[in-house]
Chains A and B, each alone.
Chain A
């Protein structure tokens, strides 16, 4: 097909400033508050402050996301906050994740082709974020707190081409990426 099957726009987003922090919840909360960042009240939700979003994606795991230009400032703040807190740690993962947005009325049907997670507005309201399977890889999917219907998808950067290919395919479009040759040299007795 040359026209999209569904009413949705798929875009690869520019690199984000992205940090992951892990540790005991109380240590994480203390460090984030020291860094001047919000603390989400519940799991699988995003707390936003200015352009910085903090997502609790597990009992001992948070993501801090912001526009790329805030990377240095956030890095410095987090280093200060975690330096004295050995019970938790953070690391910059801006290069480790690729982000996509899937916007439009049919955004959910496109993502549900790869994700078993229930993304209906009732089960996955604005501001929700969760890790899930996405076409046999793992991904984080977030529903935009301000725009509806719009989802952000975070995948490990190495899978970005594969996921981009799937997203296009799920919307009835040609795949923009291909893997390698997928052919290994044949084994032979004599070279």
Chain B
């Protein structure tokens, strides 16, 4: 093992070395390592390049407060893996992102020469001529985010909902004691921690807890009411205690990479700890400069000593522990404390360990390129240069306020001793405990976890069983911080970084302020400070304080920015779970799907998730030829289509006639049993919602049809009327769409086929006229036959309970064989209905037209006083008399099939449109392209020429009436 691995310590398995590669270098790590700890163990501190200037960068934080991403070439190629939290894998092949050829010798470093041209917001004011788009690809490519590999890893992820009484976010001293309290009290508890092992700072700071942590962990594991989720992170708080949690490599499902939870918790306790922050000084981004807490993490969790000759620069007591850990593990340590003095008890142990202490001093500049070699330390008026290979830095601690901020129920307030923001109060069912509340000692945190848990349990009526708070030795706690945000540089050109992820310097902050972005929210957006990979975990408060210093405001007067989910980087694939490809959206099948597929149908969605046969191609046929052949069969012979998805509702009750009369334009009060009537319904705003035929089944029951795509909308509309507007009406509405399958015979020979089926009822036009209904049998199959048409031909809708669907269809095909029956898909149906001039939801009924616009004004009853939408329609027509009306179009070129949706503009110019093409087909009747569409003042413009604009051409069309076939409906009624 190479030089930086300690001989003992850390939560790693030293018995099974792991070979891996980074930027082509063969290296060795250990199980339990992250990529970062393994690299440091191999003395690789330069692990990437900065986002904008391609400056050499190393690890600054020890977890989610760091921003070094790597590309994983193998196994499972993926980019942007956060090195400080991604476990090392056997055979792992990693490379730095956006570097060439590698992080050590990156040609992109040339951008640093032009650093003065790349200040904050440079892309708003440079590269503008001739157009920014010319430069954008190069800028994006140069920016420090990795590219997705060609064969990118697709994680196996499961999305799951969950519920619990108490969710505890964070498994340190506060979280463990909170979970223990709730668990012992019998609550259903979920404990989430982002570490592979519970303990938080108790592990990283090697706190001697006398076995308390192991004991609590074992007790929690033994409780059936407690679920422990290690390697997991609560990444978002949403309304009403809904939390989003990413669980990595769940222990109970070996094949899963992630499980993504949406958890509804009755009570939430956030014990997420705190993030250490840095101090800005000249060249403070050199590899080898780390947060003091990161150094302890590498030493105590991973058994890695990041440097042999270390300087610790601090303004508070917590970094004394880091100095002690470094010294105890063999490093030569100098501690530079910006404070004038420290308590004697803090100094004593350090002196005993041989640590040199310098008080009232500040690190002014770091030296070195690929890694730190020395720092300049100002002591009074003197400057000392201290050689070093590691600088551990502590500017104080920021309680993890992120989830509390996301609740929008509490605000942050300034803490005068911690010099940081803490939550002003706990909010309702949301509690904060431990370091996240500014209580940094382990004992205080544990006691606070018990308090928070007790309060949470009380709110949900569970009697708390409070454990005794443990006494956890924790000598170096940042109870008082001497604020130090940045050290003024001696050189004007020096760069003092405040946000490593976005390459944001103090100079950028000054520039933003000089350019007038004086709100902290604007400074954030202009400079991108806090918007990078680490989302400002270590730098945000520094940015706020430095802006305060630059503007002469106290830090707490500057304001804060808003934390939003996600708290940590989350793979999109993890969130999606297995909702992709065929499971991206729900899909529905009719009972005839197997038949359609066996007949070679091309199936796709055609309304409300229904997978329907689009067309049945024969050998060598494309979709247009197949659809035309099927449509011709209906015009000249007979076809049959699967109309099962049509919306159907059974209505019963004494107030059904009143409901129908409110719902539709027409008067339904005199509809006789076994007869049907076409109706159009409007929404409240007077625009057409849907159309369909209503049949009266008998004296007490009605059958209401909606269009396929509007079935759910119509059902909701009916229920809204009955539940909210007219709860006094007695009407039962029963959706029966999928109970009934439908085979619709259509074409001049449709009656012949129906007769050939030997039904037990009369199929003559006298006995079964247009808009009538009969119930009977075809052999042993019960059928309900409706005489309606949507094709412009004689049609019979044969409805049967779904269990008989395939048998009925087979019989229809057998009986129709002698008549040349052809199965018809939705493409042919579209041709037929456009020729017949029938409107369709989603085409002509697009939510902008009223009934008169669509040529259906004759349906408006003069015998009833009102219907839903009448007043709105009349008002709109009064105020906007120039209506966009339904018309037909004939392209001057008979082969010009205009794309549906094509805008119509005056003379085809690039200007406001005066209408659009709603449907466009190649007519089998006219052997040419025809269209339906909506055109301003369309009815008055018959015979004129209008122009459709499509991409690279303008198509002239003649305005014609919107019925191209059987205008008097003689064939429909035959």
Q: In the complex, are the beta carbons of B739 and A96 less than 8 A apart?
A: yes
Q: B287 at interface (Cβ–Cβ under 8 A)?
A: no
The distance from the CB of B829 to the nearest CB of chain A, in whole angstroms, is 14
Q: A191 at interface (Cβ–Cβ under 8 A)?
A: yes
Q: In the complex, are the beta carbons of B586 and A135 less than 8 A apart?
A: yes
- Interface members, chain B 303-330 (any A CB < 8 Å): none
Q: In the complex, are the beta carbons of B582 and A165 less than 8 A apart?
A: yes
- Interface members, chain A 84-121 (any B CB < 8 Å): 86-96, 109, 112-113, 115-118, 120
> Which of A15-23, A43-51, A144-152 contacts its partner?
A15-23
From B589, B605, B614, B739, give the contact of A95 (CB < 8 A). B739
Find the A residue at minimum CB distance from B578: A169
Q: In the complex, are the beta carbons of B897 and A179 less than 8 A apart?
A: no
From B264, B585, B740, give the contact of A118 (CB < 8 A). B264
- Interface members, chain A 15-51 (any B CB < 8 Å): 15, 20, 22-24
Q: How many residues of A contact B (CB 8 A)?
A: 59
List of A residues within 8 angstroms of B582 by Cβ: 165, 175, 178-179, 182
List of B residues within 8 angstroms of A109 by Cβ: 160
Max chain B C-beta neighbours (<10 A), residue from A15, A137, A172 = A172
From A93, A116, A122, A166, give the contact of B161 (CB < 8 A). A116
Q: How many residues of B contact A (CB 8 A)?
A: 67
List of A residues within 8 angstroms of B895 by Cβ: 190-191
State whether A191 and B922 are in contact (beta carbons under 8 Å apart), knowing that A96-B739, A179-B582 are contacts in the complex: yes
Q: How far is the CA of A128 from the CA of B863 in the complex (A)?
A: 50
- Interface members, chain A 168-191 (any B CB < 8 Å): 169-170, 172, 175, 178-185, 187-191
For the complex of A and B, 7 pairs with smallest distance between CB atoms? A180-B603, A95-B802, A158-B588, A89-B652, A89-B732, A179-B587, A185-B623
- Apart from the given pairs A89-B650, A180-B605, A185-B615, 17 other A-B contacts in the complex at a CB distance below 8 Å: A86-B653, A87-B653, A89-B734, A95-B802, A95-B803, A113-B160, A113-B161, A120-B163, A159-B586, A165-B583, A175-B582, A180-B603, A182-B604, A185-B624, A189-B897, A189-B899, A191-B624
From B158, B611, B615, B740, give the contact of A170 (CB < 8 A). B158
Q: In the complex, are the beta carbons of B163 and A123 less than 8 A apart?
A: yes
Q: A52 at interface (Cβ–Cβ under 8 A)?
A: no
Interface string of A57-98 (1 = CB under 8 A from B): 000100000000000000000000000001111111111100
List of B residues within 8 angstroms of A118 by Cβ: 163, 264
Q: In the complex, are the beta carbons of B654 and A15 less than 8 A apart?
A: no
Q: In the complex, are the beta carbons of A20 and B734 less than 8 A apart?
A: yes
Q: B896 at interface (Cβ–Cβ under 8 A)?
A: yes
Q: In the complex, are the beta carbons of A190 and B159 less than 8 A apart?
A: no
Q: How far is the CA of A156 from the CA of B379 in the complex (A)?
A: 78
Q: How far is the CA of A71 from the CA of B174 in the complex (A)?
A: 60
Max chain A C-beta neighbours (<10 A), residue from B264, B591, B734, B955 = B734
Interface string of B811-835 (1 = CB under 8 A from A): 0000000000000000100000000
From B624, B650, B732, B922, give the contact of A88 (CB < 8 A). B732
- Interface members, chain B 617-633 (any A CB < 8 Å): 623-624
- Interface members, chain B 879-908 (any A CB < 8 Å): 895-900
Number of A-B contacts (CB under 8 A): 163
Q: How far is the CA of A46 from the CA of B435 in the complex (A)?
A: 49
List of B residues within 8 angstroms of A88 by Cβ: 652, 732
List of A residues within 8 angstroms of B614 by Cβ: 184-185
List of A residues within 8 angstroms of B583 by Cβ: 135, 162, 165-166, 169, 175
Q: B610 at interface (Cβ–Cβ under 8 A)?
A: yes
The distance from the CB of A189 to the nearest CB of chain B, in whole angstroms, is 6
Q: How far is the CA of A88 from the CA of B587 in the complex (A)?
A: 32
List of A residues within 8 angstroms of B900 by Cβ: 187
Q: In the complex, are the beta carbons of A95 and B801 less than 8 A apart?
A: yes
Q: B700 at interface (Cβ–Cβ under 8 A)?
A: yes
Interface string of B564-605 (1 = CB under 8 A from A): 000000000000011100110111111101000000001111
The distance from the CB of B618 to the nearest CB of chain A, in whole angstroms, is 16
From A60, A87, A96, A170, give the contact of B802 (CB < 8 A). A96
Find the A residue at minimum CB distance from B802: A95
From B262, B602, B736, give the contact of A96 (CB < 8 A). B736
List of B residues within 8 angstroms of A161 by Cβ: 587, 589, 593
- Interface members, chain B 787-805 (any A CB < 8 Å): 801-803
Find the B residue at minimum CB distance from A83: B700
Q: How far is the CA of A159 from the CA of B712 in the complex (A)?
A: 15
List of B residues within 8 angstroms of A120 by Cβ: 163, 188
Q: How far is the CA of A118 from the CA of B241 in the complex (A)?
A: 14
List of A residues within 8 angstroms of B899 by Cβ: 187-189
State whether A179 and B898 are in contact (beta carbons under 8 Å apart), knowing that A91-B734, A135-B583 are contacts in the complex: no
Q: In the complex, are the beta carbons of B652 and A86 less than 8 A apart?
A: yes
Find the A residue at minimum CB distance from B602: A181
Interface string of A1-18 (1 = CB under 8 A from B): 100011000000001000
Q: In the complex, are the beta carbons of B605 and A113 less than 8 A apart?
A: no
State whether A191 and B897 are in contact (beta carbons under 8 Å apart), knowing that A88-B732, A92-B739, A113-B159 are contacts in the complex: yes
The distance from the CB of B66 to the nearest CB of chain A, in whole angstroms, is 33
Q: In the complex, are the beta carbons of B734 and A189 less than 8 A apart?
A: no
Q: In the complex, are the beta carbons of B589 and A87 less than 8 A apart?
A: no
List of A residues within 8 angstroms of B590 by Cβ: 158
Q: In the complex, are the beta carbons of B738 and A179 less than 8 A apart?
A: no
List of B residues within 8 angstroms of A140 by Cβ: none
The distance from the CB of A6 to the nearest CB of chain B, in whole angstroms, is 8
List of B residues within 8 angstroms of A179 by Cβ: 582, 587, 589, 603, 605, 611
Q: In the complex, are the beta carbons of B604 and A183 less than 8 A apart?
A: yes
Max chain A C-beta neighbours (<10 A), residue from B653, B700, B898 = B653
Interface string of B499-540 (1 = CB under 8 A from A): 000000000000000000000000000000000000000000
Find the A residue at minimum CB distance from B608: A158
List of A residues within 8 angstroms of B110 by Cβ: none
Interface string of B693-708 (1 = CB under 8 A from A): 0000000110000000
Q: How far is the CA of A169 from the CA of B614 in the complex (A)?
A: 28
List of B residues within 8 angstroms of A115 by Cβ: 161
The distance from the CB of A47 to the nearest CB of chain B, in whole angstroms, is 21
The distance from the CB of A91 to the nearest CB of chain B, in whole angstroms, is 5
Q: B733 at interface (Cβ–Cβ under 8 A)?
A: yes
List of B residues within 8 angstroms of A178 by Cβ: 582
List of B residues within 8 angstroms of A117 by Cβ: 161
Max chain A C-beta neighbours (<10 A), residue from B188, B264, B583, B623 = B583
- Interface members, chain B 940-967 (any A CB < 8 Å): 950, 953, 955
Q: In the complex, are the beta carbons of B738 and A158 less than 8 A apart?
A: yes
The distance from the CB of B484 to the nearest CB of chain A, in whole angstroms, is 49
Sample of 8 A–B contacts (CB below 8 Å):
A87-B653, A89-B701, A91-B650, A91-B739, A158-B588, A159-B588, A180-B605, A184-B614
Q: In the complex, are the beta carbons of B585 and A136 less than 8 A apart?
A: yes
Q: B369 at interface (Cβ–Cβ under 8 A)?
A: no
Find the A residue at minimum CB distance from B627: A185
Q: How far is the CA of A9 from the CA of B144 in the complex (A)?
A: 48
Find the B residue at minimum CB distance from A169: B578
